[in-house]
């Protein structure tokens, strides 16, 4: 019983960076999906890179004149 509880707690700790990236406004679209996949496969190290590097491309802040 204790072992199952430990596994559940560790799973939620592993899930925290994925949730934080998914809710973040720093990236969007394909870039966000790429970061989430990196976190899933590389774990916390990718999340640290996300915090340091995201967004990879600067957002276009100019008004959209069509």
The per-residue pLDDT for range 12-52, each reduced to its tens digit, is: 988 888 888 889 888 888 888 988 888 888 877 887 888 88
Does residue 65 fall inside a structural domain? no
Q: Please give the tally of structural domains in the chain.
A: 1
Indicate yes or no: pTM above 0.75: no
What is the largest distance, in Å, between two alpha-carbon atoms of the chain? 61
Q: Could you give the CA distance from residue 60 to residue 49 in angstroms, rounded to a whole number?
A: 22
Give me the DSSP letters along 8-21: HHHHHHHHHHHHHH
**Degrees (nearest 5) of the Cα angle 14, 23, 20?**
30
Does residue 45 fall inside a structural domain? yes
- Residue 49 lies in domain: 15-53
Q: Indicate the pLDDT class of residue 63, thresholds 50, 70 and 90.
A: low
Does residue 10 fall inside a structural domain? no
Does residue 6 fall inside a structural domain? no
């Amino acid at each position: 019983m204790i072992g199952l509880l430990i596994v559940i707690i560790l799973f939620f700790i592993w899930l925290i960076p994925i949730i934080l990236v998914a809710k973040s406004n720093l990236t969007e679209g394909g870039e966000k999906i790429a970061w989430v996949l990196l976190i899933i496969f590389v774990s916390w190290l990718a999340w640290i890179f996300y915090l340091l590097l995201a967004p990879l491309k600067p957002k276009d802040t100019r008004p959209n004149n069509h």
